[in-house]
Structure 1
Amino acid sequence: MDSLITAAARALAAGDPFGALNRIALRDDAPALALRGIAMAQLGDLVRAKALMRSAARAFGSKEAVARARCVVAEAEIALVSRDLGWPAKALDAARATLEAHGDHVNAAHARYLEVRRLLLIGHLDEAERKLAECDPAHLPPASRAARELLVAGIAMRRLRTKAARTALARAAREAREAGIPALSSEIESASLVLNTPSARLMTRGEERLLLLEEVEVLLASKALVVDACRHVVRDARTVIPLARRPILFALARALGEAWPGDVSRDALVARVFRAKHADESHRARLRVEVGRLRAMLGALADVSATKRGFALVPHRAREVVVLLRPVEEKHAAVLAFLADGESWSSSALALALGTSQRTVQRTLDLLAVEGKVQSFGHGRARRWMTPPVPGFATTLLLPAPLSGY
């Protein structure tokens, strides 16, 4: 490798894309194309970066297996940053195996971390944790160790283990300082801010207040009965009852939880749950059926007791009933929570992360665009959606249960 290529590679490793481009911008050989692709990715021109990486992979040819594998890893990272979650994971796995077989353990570890980041985005926490444990960071450079600690912190935050998350972020910050890469330090600082911004709202006895992630962790370990509108479950410290697939039952539980220790009238429940302006006998009969189902579902935690005017929630073990809400209520909160990370997403990637159809996601995005809450750029398969994050709120950490892997 000639001196200009070596100097450009060192500049990129130090987070200096302009310094790299100054050395190889006019060259079209395979190593230069690859480095130019990485530089363009660091500068945010992901479309150009992707094209350059593919050109580099073709230019290296079949005999340069390691170089081609590195190009595949770089392309996978570009796809991840642009939230193209449908990018073929098998290609990344094959590239990682090639790099490991040829002794390039640093880039093989980077490929593994990209795979874990993708799993983290789509909520597969158990698999992400397992794959992360397969990589030994002992002999990796500081930048790689910092990236690993960021992943450890991300998993811990989504599992509501704030102490472990803070410890991992502190280790990541130390490694980033040793690596001397400003962009990496900035990413760690942004991740740390999540722990110091409100992640949810608590409603109890008619009053509301914002909670940090650490306070949410304490709440879920307390003796309270929690109606969790972030994950659509009802739980105490020992038992979790999922209601994400039973929206009517959860709406009933939430209404009763918000009214506790009082009750809710039958007409109010009909209006809230069934969206009926006037309750008739058919609505009341249906309400009795749904209350019976809720009573059966919550049997281990609470009873739904009939009162003169309606129904009330009566916990068995808990001393108090509270409702945990997202910091900002929004009909399409799950889509906005993913877009709140500030990155651009394709509708197919959102559909994959949400576990729903692409057409449903596209309709939601079109509605949000009309309301001015999201914006798109590009056309066809290159179309991407984004929105600035909600100021002061860490919305992505409290997604519904199927999304967060809870």
Structure 2
Amino acid sequence: MDSMITAAARALAAGDSLGALKRVALRDDAPALALRGIAMAQLGDLVRAKVLLKSAARAFGPKEAVARARCVVAEAEIALVSRDLSWPAKALDTAWATLEAHGDRVNAAHAGNLKVRRLLLIGRLDEAERTLAGLDPAPLPPASTTARELAIAGIAIRRLKTEAARAALTRAAHSARQANIPALTAEVEAASLALKTPAARLIARGEGRSLLLDEVEALLASGTLVVDACRHAVRQGNAMVSLSTRPVLFALARALAEDWPGDVPRGTLLRRAFRAKHADESHRARLRVEIGRLRAELKDLADVRATKRGFALSPQGGREIVVLAPPVEGQDASVLALLADGESWSSSSLAIALGTSPRTVQRALEQLAAAGKVQPLGHGRARRWMTPLVPGFPTILLLPGPLPSD
């Protein structure tokens, strides 16, 4: 390995992208192309970075499997940062296996971190947790340790374990200071905002207020009967009845909970559950059927009793009843929730993350764009979407260790 390549690799590891480029900008050999690609990615030119890394992977010889695998890992991180979830995940698994087989433990662990972060984005928490548990954190440098701790925090936040999330973010901040990379420190600070911003709205006795994440955790552990509009379930302590596949039943449960301890007129329930502007006997008959189904689903948690003008919800044991609602609601709230990270997403990646069809996501994006809540960037296949005026910090892109073959 020549001295300029070594100096450029060290500059990248320290977060000095411009310093690395100065050393390899005029070179077209495989190691220089790879280093230039990582430097361009750190500077935010992800399109150029992908081209350079693909060129580097082709330029490495057949005996340089480790170097090619490192390029694939760098491509995977670019895909993750640019929210290109259609990038072939199997390529990362293959590169990870190659690095493990050749004893490159640092880059192998880095590849594992990337897989965990991708699984987090698409909501596969159990698989992300299993993958993370199988990774050895010992060989990781401070920058990659920070990424690992951010992944741990992300899992804890989604599982409503705020103390574990806060501890992981504290460790991430410590590792980021050790790495001495400003963009990495900024990323940790941005992630920490999740614990300081409203995570949900509490609706109780007709009044609403915002809740932080730790307040949501405390509410769910309090024994209060919670109609959870974030996950479409009714829960009390460890007991939970999921209504995610029963939208009519959940609409009825929420309407009854919002007006508790009072009752809800039948006409209001018909409008909320069936969107019936003019109810006839068939609607009223269906309401009776659905109320019976809801009563059967909630029998261990609450009773649905009939009143003179409608129905009311009565919790077992005289508990309080509240509604836990998302901070932003509406048909397209889930799309906005993903775009809130400040990164640019393609419609296909949003569809993958939400588990829905691309056309459904495109319709939602068109409606949000018409309302001025999102904005498109680019055209055709290159089009991306993001929320306007949201400051975003680029995820740090590091490929630890030397790129050329040893």
What range is the shorter-chain TM-score in? over 0.9
Partner-residue secondary structure (3-state), 1:329? coil
Give aligned pairs, total.
391
Q: Does 1:143 align with 2:162?
A: no
Tell me the distance in 2 between the aligned counterparts of 1:364 and 1:193.
27
Q: 342-351 vs 213-222, which deviates more?
A: 342-351
**How far is 1:389 from its partner?**
7.7
Tell me the distance in 1 between the aligned counterparts of 2:243 and 2:134.
34
**How far is 1:209 from its partner?**
1.0
Deviations 1:32-87 (A, max 9, x none): 11111111111111111111110110011322101100000000001111111121
Q: Is the 8 A contact 2:37 2:49 kept in 1?
A: yes
Match of 2:200 in 1: 200
Tell me the distance in 2 between the aligned counterparts of 1:390 and 1:320.
38
Tell me the distance in 1 between the aligned counterparts of 2:131 and 2:381.
30
Match of 2:17 in 1: 17
Which amino acid counterpart does residue 194 of structure 1 have in structure 2? A
Q: Is the 8 A contact 1:202 1:209 kept in 2?
A: yes
Q: Using a 3 Å threshold, how does the CA distance of structure 1 residues 390 and 181 change in structure 2: closer, same or farther?
A: closer
Q: Is the 8 A contact 2:342 2:390 kept in 1?
A: no
Q: Is the 8 A contact 1:33 1:53 kept in 2?
A: yes
Q: Is the 8 A contact 2:197 2:212 kept in 1?
A: yes
**How far is 1:329 from its partner?**
2.1
> How do residues 185-224 of structure 1 correspond to structure 2 at under 5 angstroms?
185-224=185-224
Match of 1:305 in 2: 305
Q: 198-207 vs 135-144, which deviates more?
A: 135-144
Q: Using a 3 Å threshold, how does the CA distance of structure 1 residues 42 and 27 change in structure 2: closer, same or farther?
A: same
Match of 2:253 in 1: 253
Tell me the distance in 2 between the aligned counterparts of 1:73 and 1:156.
25
Partner-residue secondary structure (3-state), 2:245? coil
Q: Using a 3 Å threshold, how does the CA distance of structure 1 residues 206 and 349 change in structure 2: closer, same or farther?
A: same
Match of 2:232 in 1: 232
Which amino acid counterpart does residue 354 of structure 1 have in structure 2? L
Tell me the distance in 2 between the aligned counterparts of 1:52 and 1:302.
61
> How do residues 129-168 of structure 1 correspond to structure 2 at under 5 angstroms?
129-168=129-168
Match of 1:273 in 2: 273
Q: Is the 8 A contact 1:225 1:318 kept in 2?
A: no
Match of 1:387 in 2: 387
Which amino acid counterpart does residue 8 of structure 2 have in structure 1? A
Q: Is the 8 A contact 1:29 1:59 kept in 2?
A: yes
Match of 1:402 in 2: none
Tell me the distance in 2 between the aligned counterparts of 1:130 and 1:72.
23
Match of 1:61 in 2: 61
Which amino acid counterpart does residue 22 of structure 1 have in structure 2? K
Match of 1:110 in 2: 110
Tell me the distance in 2 between the aligned counterparts of 1:198 and 1:314.
29
Tell me the distance in 1 between the aligned counterparts of 2:70 and 2:318.
55
Which amino acid counterpart does residue 323 of structure 2 have in structure 1? V
Which amino acid counterpart does residue 368 of structure 2 have in structure 1? L
**How far is 1:280 from its partner?**
1.9
Tell me the distance in 2 between the aligned counterparts of 1:102 and 1:178.
28
Tell me the distance in 2 between the aligned counterparts of 1:389 and 1:328.
18
Question: What do you get for the CA RMSD once the two structures are aligned?
Answer: 1.4
Which amino acid counterpart does residue 356 of structure 2 have in structure 1? T
Which amino acid counterpart does residue 129 of structure 2 have in structure 1? E
**How far is 1:331 from its partner?**
2.1
**How far is 1:159 from its partner?**
0.4
Partner-residue secondary structure (3-state), 2:223? coil
Partner-residue secondary structure (3-state), 1:56? helix
Tell me the distance in 1 between the aligned counterparts of 2:379 and 2:64.
35
Which amino acid counterpart does residue 61 of structure 1 have in structure 2? G
Tell me the distance in 2 between the aligned counterparts of 1:210 and 1:90.
41
Which amino acid counterpart does residue 235 of structure 1 have in structure 2? R
**How far is 1:117 from its partner?**
0.3
Q: 200-209 vs 312-321, which deviates more?
A: 312-321
Tell me the distance in 2 between the aligned counterparts of 1:318 and 1:45.
59
Tell me the distance in 2 between the aligned counterparts of 1:127 and 1:194.
22
Match of 2:397 in 1: none
**How far is 1:185 from its partner?**
1.2
Which amino acid counterpart does residue 368 of structure 1 have in structure 2? L
**How far is 1:330 from its partner?**
2.6
**How far is 1:390 from its partner?**
7.6
Match of 1:342 in 2: 342
Q: 241-250 vs 109-118, which deviates more?
A: 241-250
Which amino acid counterpart does residue 203 of structure 1 have in structure 2? I
Tell me the distance in 1 between the aligned counterparts of 2:373 and 2:196.
25
Which amino acid counterpart does residue 152 of structure 1 have in structure 2? I
Deviations 1:211-262 (A, max 9, x none): 0000000000011000011111111102111111111111111100000000
Q: Is the 8 A contact 2:110 2:140 kept in 1?
A: no
Q: TM-score, normalised by structure 2?
A: 0.94
Deviations 1:157-210 (A, max 9, x none): 110000011111111111111121221111111111110111111010111111
Query: Which runs of 5 or more residues in structure 2 are unaligned?
Result: 392-406
Match of 2:361 in 1: 361
Q: Is the 8 A contact 2:375 2:388 kept in 1?
A: no
Q: Is the 8 A contact 2:224 2:236 kept in 1?
A: yes
Deviations 1:106-140 (A, max 9, x none): 11111000000000001110110010011111232
Q: 203-212 vs 170-179, which deviates more?
A: 170-179
**How far is 1:317 from its partner?**
3.4
Query: Which runs of 5 or more residues in structure 1 are unaligned?
Result: 392-406
Match of 1:184 in 2: 184
Q: TM-score, normalised by structure 1?
A: 0.94
Which amino acid counterpart does residue 78 of structure 1 have in structure 2? I
